[in-house]
Structure 1
Amino acid sequence: MSEKKERGQKTTRHLVAGFSGGLTSALALQPLDLMKTRVQQSKDNSLMNVLKSITSVKQLWRGTLPSAIRTSVGSGLYLSTLHLARNNISKLKNSQAPIFNASSKLPKLKAYENIIIGMLSRSIVGFITMPITVIKIRFESNLYQYKSIKEAVIDIFKYNGINGFFRGFGATCLRDAPYAGLYISSYEQLKSILPKLMNLQKNFDHNNNNNNIQELGHLSSGIINSTSAMIASIFATTVTAPFDTIKTRMQLSPEEFTTFSQTSIKLYNENFMRFFDGLSLRLIRKAGSAAIAWCIYEELVKI
């Protein structure tokens, strides 16, 4: 098999693995995303009020279709892009096969390299998926009563034009790019640290110059990868929480919240803690999503 064809198959594998992990997490955790959006949409909303406003279990999965499209496609594009960038940089640095660790088939890079690559990859994919992100947010909110994606597209274009589909991109980028950079860097560090702390790597060769480090079993690697993903996600989510609230306000009420700076000032005047609205829900969702998506992704790319 030619090198070009093999590289294409590997990229496709990462795309499919990322898509699968993203889809699974989106379907499982949609209720948390919906409640987080509704808590953030207004200064008067609390989690208790949101729960009282939901009259059926079915309502918890409102917006699942745009959410599933965004998360699955976004994860597939992001993780395949991330893989290509990291693999190429690793090869250039080592002028041979990339270096891996015992729980993963993903190339090992330095922390700052992971931060830069994660931020750039997330920004690019975030721009591509921005229209479906705006639609997803509006579906989850109870400020709009769309019955289909087509209706949402027509309404957004009618009142906000093409710019409406990219509303809040600045805030989204300021949230997602740092999140991705902090997450991937922390995640990779934790994958190296946890096997030693959990005494799972005592029989493995720790020489960083050895590219044939023995792999952990599926159960052990799954535990390491999902735990690393959860811890890294909690850290990155907390740091970037204010940008998530700003983004949500701008996307749901574009007439009231017109710019990033104006939205920030309004939130600050309401109460500084408004910047962290929905944080507990977002922490649970992001940690759960990361654990599910990255565990599935890491195991599928080994096949």
Structure 2
Amino acid sequence: MNGQTPASTAVNGITPAQQMISSCSGALLTSLLVTPLDVVKTRLQAQNNPLGKGKYFVYSNGLMDHICVCENGKGWYKAAGQFRGTFDAFYKIVCCEGITALWSGLPPTLVMAVPATVIYFTCYDQLCAALRARMGERAQEAPLLAGAIARVGSATVISPLELIRTKLQSQKQSYSELTSLIRSAVQAEGWWSLWRGLGPTLLRDVPFSAMYWYNYERGKSWLCQWYNATEPTLTITFISGAGSGSVAAIVTLPFDVVKTRRQVELGELQAKNLSGPVSSSTFSIMKKIVAQDGFRGLFAGFFPRLIKVAPACAIMISSYEFGKAFFRKHNQERIPRQLHSTNT
């Protein structure tokens, strides 16, 4: 009986705790490798709103976003001029700000990125297994629904923590001042004020997650048949993750551009100590972008987002699947040992 306990509480042969460890290691590795690409993407998207003295700049590593303060023209951001493209942006950022600027704000981002990723991937696996058992002939659609639900859950849970972190980074204030600020916001606008900005994030991330997991599972299954593999290899998971991530990134890019514009406006309003609505609705911002830059404006940063998302998805899912395979093998080997020790 003791040997059957882990399997009875596991999904696909591993426990939720083991899923969390696998997703945590994947989040750390992905953040370290792809943050520079997303910094460049965000700069290209936001350069139509240049930042001046005392303004703020938004960085993202694909897992979580953060606003960094620039005081007296020093610190996080220095004027690097207009970027002509991806490689020009890399060159100018490194020359004007140093190579470490490509990883600006990474430590505080990881504080949010790791728990968000752990919640997201663990919930997806648990939901997908449960839905497949109940959907019968439509079990192939379970990844689409599970991916969407898992993203809504993780984004909703982490949103108040991200708001607190953003406030701490964007203004110099003590924890008591922050507590007073949050209390007054809740009194004025209700508890929903802690989830400010969640809407455009969900508009981008929920369709992305649904498309990503559906295409990933289908691609992985197809490649296993192509290579006559009984289990997906590291190469299969890497290719499937990169391909599905690329498709989802292209489709949801306009919402990513809007998210960047909204967060830049948030920083500008905070720098000027202005109150009131941070920005207009998502679709109003889209209309404004189209009026200013045409439909091409909705796909600003296309290439850097693509070369960031594809390897990010590939590295994250490969690391996650590798971790799960490691723990699955460990559990399978442990059960016979436990049964043998019980019998002796």
Which interval holds the TM-score relative to the shorter structure?
Answer: 0.7 to 0.9
Alpha-carbon contact 1:37-1:137 (below 8 Å) kept = no
CA spacing shift, 1:293–1:169, aligned 2, 3 Å: same
Alpha-carbon contact 1:41-1:249 (below 8 Å) kept = yes
Q: Offset at 1:249? A: 1.3
Aligned AA for 1:248?
Answer: T
Q: Offset at 1:268? A: 1.6
Partner of 2:296: 273
Q: Offset at 1:70? A: 3.0
Q: Offset at 1:230? A: 0.1
> Distance in 2 between the 1:49 and 1:34 partners?
10
Alpha-carbon contact 1:115-1:181 (below 8 Å) kept = yes
CA spacing shift, 1:113–1:215, aligned 2, 3 Å: closer
Alpha-carbon contact 2:246-2:310 (below 8 Å) kept = yes
User: Does 2:24 correspond to 1:19?
Assistant: yes
Q: Look up the SS of the partner of 1:257 in the other structure.
A: coil
Percent identity reads: 23
TM-score (ref. length: structure 2): 0.67
Partner of 1:122: 151
Q: Offset at 1:76? A: 0.9
Aligned AA for 1:7?
Answer: T
Q: Offset at 1:13? A: 0.9
Gap regions ≥5 residues in structure 2: 50-81, 187-191, 270-277, 328-344
Q: Offset at 1:18? A: 1.0
> Distance in 1 between the 2:92 and 2:163 partners?
25
> Distance in 2 between the 1:38 and 1:175 partners?
19
1:169-224 deviation per Cα after TM superposition (whole angstroms, max 9, x unaligned): 11110110000000000000100112333xx21xx6xxxxxxxxx435xxxx0000
Alpha-carbon contact 1:187-1:232 (below 8 Å) kept = yes
Whichever structure has more strand as a proportion of its residues is 2
Partner of 1:52: 92
User: Does 2:251 correspond to 1:239?
Assistant: yes
Alpha-carbon contact 2:133-2:139 (below 8 Å) kept = no
Alpha-carbon contact 2:148-2:207 (below 8 Å) kept = yes
Partner of 2:115: 73
Flag the structure with larger Rg. 2
Q: Look up the SS of the partner of 2:97 in the other structure.
A: coil
Q: Offset at 1:4? A: 8.0
Partner of 1:188: 217
Gap regions ≥5 residues in structure 1: 95-107, 205-213
Q: Look up the SS of the partner of 2:280 in the other structure.
A: coil
CA spacing shift, 1:22–1:40, aligned 2, 3 Å: same
Aligned length: 265
Partner of 1:99: none
Runs of 4+ in 1 over 4 A off after TM superposition: 2-6, 131-139, 144-148, 160-165
Alpha-carbon contact 1:234-1:286 (below 8 Å) kept = yes
Q: Which residue, 231, 234, 238 being the options, matches 1:215?
A: 231
Alignment of structure 1 residues 1-303 onto 2, 5 Å: 1=2, 3=5, 6-7=8-9, 10-43=15-48, 46=83, 47=85, 48=88, 51-53=91-93, 54-92=96-134, 109-110=139-140, 112-131=141-160, 133=162, 154=178, 161=185, 166-197=195-226, 200-201=227-228, 214-215=230-231, 221-254=233-266, 255=269, 257-271=279-293, 272-302=295-325, 303=327
Q: Look up the SS of the partner of 1:129 in the other structure.
A: helix
Q: Offset at 1:287? A: 1.0
Aligned AA for 1:62?
Answer: S
CA spacing shift, 1:66–1:284, aligned 2, 3 Å: farther
Alpha-carbon contact 1:30-1:67 (below 8 Å) kept = no
CA spacing shift, 1:215–1:113, aligned 2, 3 Å: closer
CA spacing shift, 1:131–1:185, aligned 2, 3 Å: same
TM-score (ref. length: structure 1): 0.75
1:45-98 deviation per Cα after TM superposition (whole angstroms, max 9, x unaligned): 53446752442011111010233233322221111101111122233457xxxx
> Distance in 2 between the 1:195 and 1:69 partners?
36
User: Aligned-residue CA RMSD in angstroms?
Assistant: 3.3
> Distance in 2 between the 1:299 and 1:275 partners?
36
Aligned AA for 1:299?
Answer: F
1:256-286 deviation per Cα after TM superposition (whole angstroms, max 9, x unaligned): 6332233222212111212112221111111
CA spacing shift, 1:287–1:165, aligned 2, 3 Å: farther
> Distance in 2 between the 1:196 and 1:4 partners?
30
